């Protein structure tokens, strides 16, 4: 029966290797690295380190911790809980709230303490089976699609304001705008070549992000804006920044409440990824598997916080690569997890990533934000758009845009908890979407 199921799955989805099938070690090693490179897990910690002005050493340590957290969380999900071909990586959703909490406390230990409490709550939701009820009753496709659009919309301004429209490191604002344009154009060019030129499909489509970053960084070098001193100073092997050793741990009620809300939105994001992967491999998700995935998500986020990383989520990038390669073996994702863990101890590599000019990251990130936004639109585009649907989608977007441009003095006058939430328009937009969906009744 098991072999028959694998055969039928491959026939229906053009998979060359099924989820439970074995593949040679060397092949799984290469394919695992491919997933790691395509996931761009270094982007969230890079944005966070830039936003809160971490020193080069602390920024490198945060990137290393992120790799370690992603590797451990991925192993937990792939081997023991969700058991789908999908890796965990740092989510973009908590970034605004994390930046707000840090700016209010100047201590990453407060962020990590709140993350620990939120992760434990997620574990309890999975064990109790309550999350299954939450998904069915509060996060239908119109809400999940709206949340995805909000994520893309919210992150887009930071790509420009924090990464492109800046000066420094020998580069003027005009230089940075040009660098971002070169990088974004390279990404679009090579991704398009991968779609239309079959001969280069695998190389360009999978490697387009890496190629674009390389072209952008080389362009920055020609402009005199690529500083290699941090790479030279970094040791080849080094330890990531760990919670108890490097940050301490602090619990603050406002930060905890904020992170709990963030985790609820995060679960909506990661559940969407699970269903995307399930669709690609043609294996429907059961309620039991979703609950196990939630438990794994909570344990993974807890492990990530303990090693000094931000909350993790399933990456939809994996579904795209499975579609391209036809390889869905879980062994590949076990190898990807070990790649993450191994890379977390390579201080030189983290320093290389941290040395990439911010405008180059901004060029890639701006394209990624638009793709995220349009993926959310893809989720809701087939719905019947009555006035109800327009309000459910439009009002959360209105709140999100309003919070993106809220004056600093108005934000500062709000209570501390509200300041944290206001700092995360994604969370507020998601909450408004859920409330609007429940408040406005369906027509009978």
* pLDDT tens-place string over residues 177-227: 999 999 999 988 987 887 777 776 667 765 677 788 889 999 999 998 887
Q: What is the pLDDT of residues 16-55, one digit of tens each?
A: 788 888 888 888 888 888 788 667 787 788 878 877 888 8
Residue burial 83-103, b: 16+ Cβ < 10 Å; e: rest: bbbbbbbbbbbbbbbbbbbbe
User: Per-residue pLDDT for 76 more than 80?
Assistant: yes
Cα 142 to Cα 344, 373, 379, 388: the distances in Å are 38, 14, 7, 11
pLDDT tens-place string over residues 369-403: 787 788 778 778 878 888 899 999 999 999 999 99
CA distance 161 to 148: 21
Q: Where are the alpha helices (H) located in 43-86, listed in sequence order? A: 43-51, 56-75
Q: Which helix (H) or strand (E) holds 88?
A: strand 88-90
Q: What is the mean pLDDT of residues 139-148?
A: 82
Query: Which has the minimum average pLDDT: 1-10, 12-21, 299-308, 314-323?
Result: 1-10
- Determine the pLDDT at residue 3: 42
> Residue written as tokens 């996931």?
39
């Amino acid at each position: 029966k098991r072999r028959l199921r694998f055969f039928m799955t491959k026939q229906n989805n053009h998979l060359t290797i099924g989820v439970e099938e074995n593949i040679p070690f060397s092949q799984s090693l290469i394919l695992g690295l491919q997933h790691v490179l395509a996931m761009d897990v270094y982007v969230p910690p890079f944005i966070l380190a830039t936003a809160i002005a971490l020193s080069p050493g602390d920024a490198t340590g945060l990137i290393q911790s992120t790799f370690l957290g992603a590797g451990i969380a991925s192993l937990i999900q792939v081997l023991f809980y969700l058991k789908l071909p999908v890796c965990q990586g740092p989510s973009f959703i908590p970034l605004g709230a994390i930046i707000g909490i840090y700016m209010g406390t100047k201590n990453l230990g407060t962020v990590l303490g709140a993350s620990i409490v939120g992760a434990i709550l997620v574990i309890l939701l999975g064990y109790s089976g309550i999350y299954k009820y939450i998904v069915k009753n509060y996060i239908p496709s119109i809400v999940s699609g709206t949340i995805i659009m909000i994520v893309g919309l919210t992150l887009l301004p930071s790509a420009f304001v924090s990464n492109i429209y800046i000066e420094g490191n020998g580069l003027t604002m005009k230089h940075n705008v040009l660098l971002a344009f070169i990088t974004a154009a390279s990404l679009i060019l090579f991704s398009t070549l991968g779609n239309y030129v079959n001969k280069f499909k695998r190389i360009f489509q999978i490697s387009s992000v890496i190629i674009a970053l390389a072209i952008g960084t080389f362009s920055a070098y020609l402009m005199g804006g690529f500083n290699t001193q941090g790479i030279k100073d970094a040791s080849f092997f080094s330890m990531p920044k760990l919670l108890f050793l490097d940050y301490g741990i602090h619990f603050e009620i406002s930060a905890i409440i904020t992170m709990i809300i963030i985790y609820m939105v995060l679960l909506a994001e990661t559940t969407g990824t699970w269903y995307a992967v399930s669709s690609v491999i043609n294996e429907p998700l059961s309620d039991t598997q979703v609950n196990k995935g939630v438990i794994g998500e909570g344990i993974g986020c807890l492990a990530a916080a303990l090693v000094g990383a931000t909350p993790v989520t399933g990456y939809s990038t994996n579904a795209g690569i499975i579609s391209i390669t036809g390889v869905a073996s879980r062994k590949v994702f076990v190898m990807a997890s070990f790649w993450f863990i191994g890379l977390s101890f390579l201080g030189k590599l983290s320093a290389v990533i941290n040395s990439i000019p911010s405008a180059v990251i901004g060029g890639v990130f701006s394209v990624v934000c638009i793709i995220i936004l349009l993926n959310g639109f893809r989720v809701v585009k087939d719905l019947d758009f009555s006035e109800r649907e327009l309000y459910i989608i439009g009002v959360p977007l209105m709140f999100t845009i309003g919070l993106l441009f809220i004056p600093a003095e108005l934000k500062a006058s709000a209570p501390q908890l509200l300041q944290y939430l206001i700092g995360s328009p994604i969370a507020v937009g998601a909450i408004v979407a859920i409330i609007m969906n429940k408040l406005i009744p369906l027509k009978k």
